[in-house]
Structure 1
């Protein structure tokens, strides 16, 4: 067994793939604003009146028009490369990867299916048929291929996710709730996030490192679409949105996550070339296990259930029955925390692993393997 068995759902995120008949009525702001209180702070008696829309300086008005033109240019350039994927059990999005008809999307969008209907956002007409090339659930990515490549099919341009910066404006394109050709806008809120995906509802349970966090709205159906910068380059594949337990598990507005373009290219190129991922670039410890609780019923480590023969842990002397409590100087309390630590590491790295055996804590340096 390998580290894939370590993935569990302990993270407040939901998949962004869509399902049939989930389109719900959306409140229209202009209808309800009159009945909403507290949307803005009360003005002081001495406060100067707010400037009207017509009092904006010519320079500011010009800057706004230029930004709008940037948005429109990027949308016009990229939207023809974004598709809607009908996987029978649900709807998702995809991005045209090359002129041979390969489309990259999320593994949880394709699920266990092999054949799909694909609609290009800007073309209309009858859906095209496509077949699965391969899925890589460990990174929640998959590649499908159109049975017949239409004339003029436009491949997207992928950027360098290493150059993505916090505060950068991005657009999310896809088919949220089945509304094809939809675009939302936001910024890059953070980079380098490690997020665990749920298994429920068809999720892969993957723990994915180095994700791009964005405030652009990511809704069901956006999965597998495009997160795009203002140069028209895809910098990520929208995959997850955070949920708020205090809202009954509803989506937490403005907190979405996208798989970085660099990982998308690495996985997709291997699938197209070899039909599978041959070099995951993901670190592995070579164990399977379960979370254990202390006397106060709090998570206290990962009990090793089995050790892969000749794996990283086995070579370091870790045995079944040991309880992992530390990785790289950080505490390990759950399977999810161990998975996240591995997702943030690279194969070949030497990491100190702390573990307990017969009530005695020990430490050992482990050279990580590859998943």
Structure 2
């Protein structure tokens, strides 16, 4: 049993011509599209492949040849392709669709032994602001870029590129679940360091619930630069931030902006469906049942720093060069719009949640989540002459923490701990930040009165 929030119908459930549906680009390759959905710059093809652990060859990149370019979809693979996990933003964004930011690019095959370096380890040093008080982004970029990697995945008939951040000398790297999901049943991961060295990697564990994953270099060098993980407790709206990653496969890309909002409830729901010659995009057909995967609910950091497909799993830094989040999704205009790519609505998973999940994955290979034990929706309550939004309890599951605490159907949860609750997804996102066994105080509206309810969170089963 688990806390659940029922998202609106997925866009893919709507009948009609797929070409007319308001889709944002997928996180994975889609079969045989007629044009790039995220048009990118025309760039030369990748340089000749090199052995993992060796620096890239010197000299100019060979002239462009025919084949895919960054920003264009990968040609349809010979193996049947799994349909993409189409996603939607459950928020007041009627004209946008939320997509996971994983780019589709060609992958250079990397084989052979991995060589180790012998220089000393390092951690990104703290960076101070300039004398004028403004962020020194040049210094931040120089300090943190060596800790950011490009991840190339190939498996299940799919190929994709994402980003990640090195967190320790063992070669553990945090990224998104959707960046590596295509290799969970077999495939290859190739990690490109900032200096061009290539290493094979293995999945340590994934957590689909939070869209987080940890991978590990198979034979890490001794001179890895690791990132410093900060806290998300002290973040402020308007605070400057820097995103580093591989948008559209363009590795080592830096963009800056500000935090636009905190604790933004974002629901990403996906449906897995195999494609076919009659239905190449894997859209559910009218009257056809589909399998709904578990929704990813995050009270995210909203940013206006430009992030695009390929930034998935990459770090979000503050002005000192500390990681404050992991970039995971964007809101994009519908396919028929004149806008494309980033429209200044990006979302990152707060670093405190990232640390909670990553630590569990590294220690046990999986993550455990806390739960209340309720079915919830979004509604309002009248309290002291005021109308307040919150999470409405639709069902209390027997034997759960919620039942033991005395929560009732019709209760409207307005606050958990110090965090105001404004919707069902908002409550779910906050609950996932706590550990199993934590006791939290809920502010509940019941029959026009405010009451306090203490709940000891249980493990999700």
What TM-score results when the alignment is normalised by the length of structure 1?
A: 0.68
| 1:98 alignment partner, one of 168, 171, 175 | 168
| Residue 164 in structure 1 maps to residue 235 in structure 2 | yes
Unaligned runs of 5+ in 2: 12-22, 31-35, 43-129, 274-292, 380-390, 417-421
| Structure 1 segment 337-356 matched on structure 2, within 5 A | 337-345=423-431, 347-351=438-442
Kindly state the Cα deviation for residue 101 of structure 1 after the two structures are TM-superposed.
0.8
Quick one: which of 398, 409, 414 aligns to 1:328?
414
Tell me the distance in 1 between the aligned counterparts of 2:334 and 2:444. Answer: 32
Q: CA 1:302 to 1:11, structure 2 compared with 1: closer, same or farther past 3 Å?
A: farther
Distance 2:152 2:304 in 1: 26
2:39 alignment counterpart: 24
User: What is the SS of the residue equivalent to 2:263?
Assistant: strand
Calculate the aligned-residue CA RMSD, in Å: 4.1
Cα distance in 1 for partners of 2:453, 2:272 equals 35
Task: Name the CA distance, whole Å, in 1 between partners of 2:439 and 2:252.
Answer: 43
Query: Where is the strand percentage greater, Structure 1 or Structure 2?
Result: 1
SS at 1:157's partner residue?
coil
Deviation at 1:193, TM superposition (A): 2.2
Task: Give 2:263's aligned residue.
Answer: 192
Question: Structure 2 vs 1, CA of residues 242 and 22 (structure 1 numbering), >3 Å: closer, same or farther?
Answer: closer
User: In the TM superposition, what whole-angstrom CA distance separates every residue of 1:296-353 from its partner, at most 9, and x where no partner exists?
Assistant: xxxx97754xx6441134335679xx6x5632389xxxxx942322323555334366
Q: Offset at 1:113?
A: 2.6
Inter-partner Cα distance in structure 2 for 1:149 and 1:276:
22
Shift of 1:227: 0.8
Please say if residues 38 and 341 of structure 2, whose CA atoms lie closer than 8 Å, have aligned partners that are also in contact: no
Structure-2 residue corresponding to 1:275: 365
CA 1:186/1:285 → structure 2, altered by over 3 Å: closer, same or farther? same
Task: Pick the aligned partner of 2:352 from 237, 240, 262.
Answer: 262
Q: Which residue of 2 aligns with 1:128?
A: 199
Deviating 4+ runs (over 6 angstroms):
10-16, 63-68, 289-292, 360-365
Distance in 1 (CA, whole Å) between partners of 2:143 and 2:235 is 20
Query: For residues 187 and 8 of structure 1, what CA distance do their matches in structure 2 show?
Result: 29
Higher mean alpha-carbon deviation, 246-255 vs 85-94, is at 246-255
Number of residue equivalences = 308
CA distance in 2, matches of 1:110, 1:232: 26
> Structure 1 residues 163 and 67, CA, compared in 2 at 3 Å: closer, same or farther?
same
Indicate yes or no: 2:15 matched with 1:8: no
| 2:146 aligned with 1:77 | no
Q: Give the structure with the higher percent helix.
A: 1
Match of 1:141 among 172, 189, 212: 212
